[in-house]
Amino acid sequence: MRFADLVTLYFQQSSALQTLWIVYIVVIGGLLAVSALRRDPDRIGGVLATVLFLIFAHKNLGSIQDTATIRNATLQGIRQYDISQMQGADNGGFNAFKNQVLPNLFMQDVQRIGHFHRICAGITVLTLWALQLRRRLSYRQRMREAAATP
């Protein structure tokens, strides 16, 4: 594999990783926005939304971890690349990359990514059910007021 191919693969994996995180955040935001806009409590809908979100979060986490693992392996390949395989013209670009860009590229801790993702999922589920509780209390209050009104 050529050095340029490794660098391209690294940045493609970085872009894929960013896209997966964006999708995760947009889904969380959409789920909470829809939940916040609902007026009446719906336990079955809440359970269904929770289960579907947790399935999505699990699959998304797997994709993020796989992509981060590939990205880490690619970065390791970049750092261990054998410069003797390069043509003379490519050496200048390699040295510039090695001195200017490579020090700013870091391995991702896949385990920490998993912890952060799970914490976000937990907070999302707690918020979802807090909104459900708020709807239930508000619904009960409206029913009491309606019953008290002659």
Give the model confidence (pLDDT) of 58-77 as tens digits: 999 999 999 999 999 999 99
**Nearest partner of 128 among 39, 23, 5, 33, judged by Cα:** 33
What is the pLDDT, as a whole number, of residue 88? 60
Which stretch of 78-82, 112-116, 125-129 has the lowest confidence by average pLDDT?
Answer: 78-82
Report whether pLDDT(4) > 90.
no
pTM to 2 decimals? 0.84
Per-residue pLDDT tens over the stretch 6-53: 899 999 999 999 999 999 999 999 999 999 998 888 889 999 999 999
Encoded amino acid at 82, one letter = D
Tokens, residue 36: 């916040």
Could you tell me if 13 and 70 are in contact, meaning their C-beta atoms sit under 8 angstroms apart? Answer: yes
| Residue 126 pLDDT class (50, 70, 90 cuts) | very high
